[in-house]
Amino acid sequence: MSKVKTGIGRRSFIKSVSLAGGGLVLGFSWLGCGRGTEEAEKELGMQMPDEWFELNGYLKIGDNGVVTIYSPNPEIGQNVKTSMPMLVAEELDVDWKNVIVEQAPLNTDVFSRQIAGGSQSIRQSWEPLRMAGATARQMLLTAAAGLWDVPVAELSVEKGVIRHVASDRSMGYGEIAKAAATVEVPEEVELKQNTDFKIIGTSRKNVDAKKIVTGQPLFGLDVHRDDMLIAMIVQPPAFGLEYKSMDAEKIKEMPGIKDVFPINTYPDDMEKEWSDVTSFPKLVAVVGDSTWQVMQAKKALEVEWDLKPELTEEIVILEKSPALRDTRGLENSQSHSSLMAEAGSKESEAIRKDGDPEAAFKNATRVIERSYSCPFLSHNCMEPMNFFANVTNEKAELLGPIQTPEFAEKSVSKRLGLDLENIDVQMTRMGGGFGRRLYGNFLVEAAVISQKMGAPVKLIYSREDDMTNGVYRPAYHVTYRAALDGDNNLTAFHVNAGGVGESPLFANRFPAGAVDNYLAESWILDSQISIGAFRAPRSNFIAGAEQSFLDELAEEMGKDPIQFRLDLLKRAKNNPVGENNDYDPSRYAGVLELVRDKADWNNNSSSASSRGVAAYYCHNSYVAQVLEMNLQDNEPVIDKVICAVDCGIVVNPDAAKNMVEGGTIDGIGHALYSQLTFEDGVPQQRNFDTYKLIRHRQAPKKIDVHFIDNGQDPTGLGEPPSPPVQGALANALYKATGQRIYKQPFINQLETKKVVG
């Protein structure tokens, strides 16, 4: 066992411990969630203590041995509601069937990171959650030892039952919980060795699965109060426009309509949080009795919009740019593409430079140069944006799906002029997040509308509102260059990357550190279009582009693509260039070697399909994938994807496999089919009839997932599988068609290409 400091002193312990129904309540941060009390009573066949009450971020042990864990973390489908309490139960040595977990409301006094994002939940809670379980176990053992007058070292515990073998005595946790509440919190506790795990590393079913498949209320759209009103927003039709005026009197006379009025979500003098991202702070709110009535009123309402003041004159994104196509101060996708193609040579800033890349390129025998680009993407969560708000003069109650509740709380406090302690943000399960719900403009809008109405309100976005509201994955562009000498050796590598509103460059990632002469440059184009995080931010484009270029470079050098990558990683391991390389070459090589073996890569006759490979590091994890596909009527048919993953210890194997499968399908779908384009600032795709997402029949027929068991602490998993598969897909498409594809969505390029005979 390894010893860790609990970080809990006696004084703080007194503040965070209370007796409830004779049970122990132990406070700690970073908990997960699971079965609710009501269904647990039915499952376990036992009555919960009547005296129990909810305390955010606390582990409760009832006098009947049942354990309840409250979760601060939002659940967006990454399965923390199952995996996080497994960490506590493991160190507590409690029977998993006796664990109940419930969603906690926001509590920034107790929790340090109530966020769902960055694939960090398990990674950052790995030790604190286990420590909490181990601390409670130690206090229970100490109390039992005192009762029996025996040394703690002579006691053992399994599945919540403490035993003293020498005297043949035993008792359940519930019997000693009250006494344990008076025990001094230990200064340090021992955590289990990995080899002793009994719950971690075993598959446990999603604790919300039954509720989800039976349609029980879990999500924001399920929220209902008898006295609540329904609100929807009318937003500008184009990015760069804002509200000017309207005539709403006739609309207010429509059946069920309570009011129609303009709102300003973020006044100019408001100090915004980083999560307060929107291009449309000035909106029109339509409020009524039912969703249908509000939708009809919204359609009938005529609003006059005007250019934002800064766009009254023609917008100039790049000064004197001949590529500028805009005539009304509004942006177009055609202009974005042209401007990005020229920006690399005009606006670049060197972020990393190793050796003398300029000289290497000047002296090169051959230079390979390729450019890649992708469009804007909309998040398109299955559940559109929504939030319930009930604002009075004294307080604000908010309930709904949000990835960043603690930042939303601060925003509402500032916008409404209420103290933080009077803001109550509660979280529902989310029908998808993918980064969109990191940005809480819709929550603040609901609060502002409720305050104006003086009534509880549920704000609902239509699919069209959601898709055209912004906070998109940016459009990106990257150019790679490689210098080869007379012996076909790689002597220099250059990456020049940027985008509309953001650059996708990661200057210190592979192949940085593996090439003597290396240059990474970045640039950004300004835009009126709001952008934000999208599943595996920036990696979701740059990984596929990089892996496509590495494959093409390997072919130019006459090398096997996997061996080429392994050779570079060997150099990065044995004689690295620079000191800021942010990946572990050995772990990177490990997933490549595993996927090579599992796919039988070196046996050319092992698959009748066209195959492509890719590997990438992001969110502290490593993923390599081999994709096997064929073309039928010029449409990709993906037979199999073999995935090798190094994310450290896998807490819940079935759930982890599900995440890899989902991320793989997600990456394939966006690379193949999805795009959002603009004409004069107007999004051209407004619903799923024009915005393409992958269909069931287009998903891989089979996905094989293999995890590397190296005993390392867990790292991210929700996002890492999505980026590299896009490169594997592009490389497989090349094998099938003989044509390299440089622009997303790939399907648009395939329409003009023919299968090689």
Pick the more confident residue, 10 or 247: 247
In tens, the pLDDT along 548-584 reads 999 999 999 999 999 999 999 999 999 999 989 999 9
Q: How far is CA 407 from CA 112, 269, 273, 439, 752, in A?
A: 12, 18, 7, 9, 47
At 111 the pLDDT is 65
Average pLDDT of the residues in 341-359: 94
pLDDT band at 33 (very low <50, low <70, confident <90, very high): very low
Mean pLDDT of the chain: 88
pLDDT of residue 39: 54
Which range among 2-16, 80-94, 154-168, 529-543 shows the weakest confidence by mean pLDDT?
2-16
Residue 750 confidence class, pLDDT cut points 50, 70, 90: confident
Burial of 363-376, coded b for 16+ CB within 10 Å and e otherwise, reads ebeeebebbbbbbb
| pLDDT tens-digit map of 396-420 | 999 999 999 999 999 999 999 999 9
Distance CA(153)–CA(170), nearest Å, equals 15
pLDDT band at 66 (very low <50, low <70, confident <90, very high): confident
E-strand ranges in 647-733 read 678-679, 682-683, 703-707
Tokens of 141: 């053992």
- 687 — phi, psi (to 5°)? -155, 180
pLDDT at site 670:
98
Residue range 342-354: average pLDDT?
93
> Residues 202-223: what's their mean pLDDT?
90
Question: In which band, very low, low, confident or very high, does the pLDDT at 42 lie, cut at 50, 70 and 90?
Answer: low
Instruction: Return the percentage of the chain with pLDDT > 70, whole number.
Output: 88
pLDDT for residue 110:
63
* 393 against 78, higher pLDDT: 393
User: What are the backbone angles phi and psi of residue 621, rounded to the nearest 5°?
Assistant: -125, 165
12-21, 451-460, 558-567: which range is least confident on average?
12-21
Per-residue pLDDT of 159-188, as tens digits, reads 999 999 999 999 999 899 888 888 888 889
Per-residue model confidence (pLDDT) at position 112 = 65
Q: Is the pLDDT of residue 25 over 50?
A: no
Q: What is the pLDDT of residue 203?
A: 94
- pLDDT, one tens digit per residue, over 411-453 is 999 999 999 999 999 999 999 999 999 999 999 999 999 999 9
Rounded Cα–Cα distance for residues 57 and 323 (Å): 55
Per-residue pLDDT at 209: 84
Structural domains in the chain?
Answer: 2-210 (3.30.365.10), 220-309+385-460 (3.30.365.10), 535-750 (3.30.365.10)
* Composition of the chain by helix, strand, coil, percent to 5: 35, 25, 40
For 688-702, write each residue's pLDDT tens digit: 999 999 999 999 999
Is the pLDDT confidence value at 238 over 70?
yes
Question: pLDDT for 372-400, tens place per residue?
Answer: 999 999 999 999 999 999 999 999 999 99
CA–CA gap between residue 462 and residue 616 (Å, rounded): 36
Residue, of 85 and 34, whose pLDDT is higher: 85
pLDDT at 579: 86
CA distance readout (Å), 495 to 215, 581, 595, 739: 49, 15, 27, 22
d(CA 261, CA 255): 17
Of 81 and 673, more confident: 673
pTM: predicted TM-score of the whole model, two decimal places: 0.91
- The residue-averaged pLDDT of 183-197 equals 91
Angle between the 722-737 and 539-556 helix axes, to the nearest 10 degrees?
Answer: 40
Residue 354: predicted pLDDT:
98
Which runs of E-coded beta strand occur in 356-489? 366-374, 386-391, 396-400, 423-427, 457-460, 476-484
How far does CA 399 lie from the centroid of its chain? 21
3-state SS class at 580: coil
Examine the pLDDT at 757 and tell me if it is beyond 80.
Answer: no
- Could you tell me which residue, 425 or 346, shows the higher pLDDT? 425
Q: In this structure, are residues 417 and 392 in contact, taking their beta carbons and an 8 Å threshold?
A: no
Would you call 706 helix, strand, or coil by DSSP?
strand
Pairing of strands 282-288, 257-264: antiparallel
